């Protein structure tokens, strides 16, 4: 496997999914230097800690320049609700990790699931499939992540956001594949202040920063669904 330095020498156009997987592996087993002790607000308005990679043979000249293990940094970010930017002091950062990828790595050792593991395309729900719903499990949405989300909504003036996990068995149409489970993390529209429909996509996009890329977000009315629970 190539070293982190060798991987970062690849041109952006040559960084495919295979490169990404190797980059994740090498980065999380390495150490990096903090560019700033405090997170900064990125162009997308979210908070990020800025770090830079070091060559494998670099020796710290001062205590302040001593590299920090990436695993330690990721654990701290997961508790704080902060993302990570790797090597921002160039035209394009080498990688930008939103918060959802950070905490998912802490819980599962993966920044997100492979696309092949995620049901895609249209689905058919038969009468036998049914729909189940309930509060999120600790593994699906850990308590510290829920706190980060509560703090975010509180800053928007929303103090009683309600959620529900919807689960359904479904299969891809025209296939004999085994049924797959689909999960939606639903947010009660009334608890979000009943925003106009033209704001739904912006709200969902904001929430998605806090969740892994493969999570499905649904903004829903509570009517005809099981009781929502407090975030």
The pTM (predicted TM-score) of the whole model is: 0.85
Give percent above pLDDT 70 in the chain: 81
Beta strands per DSSP E along the chain: 31-34, 40-41, 47-53, 68-69, 83-86, 95-97, 131-134, 162-170, 180-188, 217-220, 229-230
Kindly report, residue by residue over 35-55, the tens digit of the pLDDT. 988 999 999 999 999 999 987
Q: How confident is the model at residue 149 (pLDDT cuts 50, 70, 90)?
A: very high
Residue 149: exposed, middle, or buried by beta-carbon count in 10 A (0-12, 13-18, 19+)? buried
Per-residue model confidence (pLDDT) at position 1: 74
Mean pLDDT of 120-126: 39
Beta bridge partners of 47: 41
Sign of the CA dihedral running 54, 60, 62, 64: positive
- Asked if 87 and 8 touch (Cβ cutoff 8 Å), the reply is yes
204: helix, strand or coil: helix
State the first-to-last Cα distance of the chain, in angstroms, to the nearest integer: 42
User: For residue range 158-212, what is the model confidence (pLDDT) as tens digits?
Assistant: 999 999 998 866 555 554 554 556 678 999 999 999 999 999 999 999 999 999 9
Asked whether 70 and 80 are in contact (CB, 8 A), the reply is no
Q: Which residue has the tokens 């608890």?
A: 191
């Amino acid at each position: 496997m190539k070293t982190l330095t060798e991987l970062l020498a690849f041109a952006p156009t040559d960084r495919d999914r295979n490169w990404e997987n190797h980059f994740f592996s090498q980065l999380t087993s390495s150490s990096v230097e903090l560019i700033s002790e405090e997170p900064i607000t990125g162009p997308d308005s979210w908070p990020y800690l800025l770090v830079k990679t070091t060559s494998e043979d670099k020796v710290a000249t001062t205590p302040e320049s001593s590299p920090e293990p990436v695993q330690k940094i990721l654990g701290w970010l997961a508790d704080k609700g902060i993302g990570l930017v790797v090597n921002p002091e160039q035209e394009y950062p080498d990688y930008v990790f939103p918060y959802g990828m950070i905490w998912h790595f802490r819980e599962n050792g993966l920044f997100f699931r492979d696309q092949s593991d995620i049901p895609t395309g249209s689905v058919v729900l038969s009468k036998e499939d049914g729909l189940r719903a309930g509060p999120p499990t600790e593994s699906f949405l850990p308590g510290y992540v829920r706190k980060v989300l509560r703090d975010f909504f509180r800053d928007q003036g929303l103090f009683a956001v309600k959620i529900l996990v919807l689960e359904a068995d479904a299969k891809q149409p025209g296939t004999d594949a085994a049924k797959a489970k689909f999960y939606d993390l639903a947010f009660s529209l009334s608890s979000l202040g009943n925003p106009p429909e033209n704001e739904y996509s912006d709200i969902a996009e904001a929430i998605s920063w806090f969740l892994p890329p493969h999570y499905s977000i649904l903004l829903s009315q509570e009517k005809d669904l099981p009781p929502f629970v407090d975030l």
